[in-house]
């Protein structure tokens, strides 16, 4: 089983319930990263571009920084933030979807680990 990590946080492993929470949490982290990135809906980014943008945003801001940017936008511009977050969640589902039919929750999230490792390496180099 692959652990899901954000820089500075413990791995999420364990029971089915824990894995489901990890899946939901990982999806939220990815959506926050897309939201905080420079990607624009009108550009119709490919799955590869979405994955690259997620990696870059997590490296640049960290998971808490992405979440902070989301919170700031929801505070400043709630009407447009809702639309952007809906789009971010949609492209995350597409970009990180598991190609295998019938796979369980979190199966497609094995691609997150390299993104988290990149974020930890960036955080370590800044320290």
**How would you write the pLDDT of the chain (127 residues) with one tens digit per residue?**
333 456 555 454 555 555 545 555 888 999 999 999 999 999 999 999 999 999 999 999 988 899 999 999 999 999 999 999 999 999 999 998 866 555 554 445 555 545 544 444 444 544 4
- Which residue, 42, 12, 43, is CA-closest to 28? 12
Q: At what angle do helices 112-126 and 16-36 cross, to 10 degrees?
A: 60
In the prediction, which pLDDT does 15 show? 57
In the prediction, which pLDDT does 91 show? 96
In the prediction, which pLDDT does 23 show? 52
In the prediction, which pLDDT does 22 show? 54
In the prediction, which pLDDT does 26 show? 84
DSSP letter string, 21-89: HHHHHHHHHHHHHHHHSS--GGG---HHHHHHHHHHHHHHHHHHHHHHHHHHHHHH-HHHHHHHHHHHH
Is residue 34 within 8 Å of 92, Cβ to Cβ?
Answer: yes
26 DSSP β-pair partners: none
Q: Is the pTM of this model over 0.85?
A: no
């Amino acid at each position: 089983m692959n652990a899901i990590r954000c820089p500075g946080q413990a791995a999420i492993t364990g029971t089915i319930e824990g894995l489901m929470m990890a899946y939901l949490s990982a999806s939220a982290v990815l959506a926050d990263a897309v939201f905080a990135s420079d990607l624009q809906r009108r550009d119709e980014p490919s799955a590869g571009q979405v994955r690259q943008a997620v990696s870059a945003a997590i490296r640049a801001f960290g998971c808490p920084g992405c979440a902070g940017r989301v919170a700031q936008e929801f505070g400043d511009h709630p009407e447009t933030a809702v639309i952007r977050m809906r789009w971010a969640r949609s492209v995350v589902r597409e970009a990180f979807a598991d190609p295998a039919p019938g796979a369980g929750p979190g199966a497609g999230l094995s691609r997150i680990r390299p993104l988290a490792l990149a974020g930890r390496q960036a955080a370590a180099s800044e320290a």
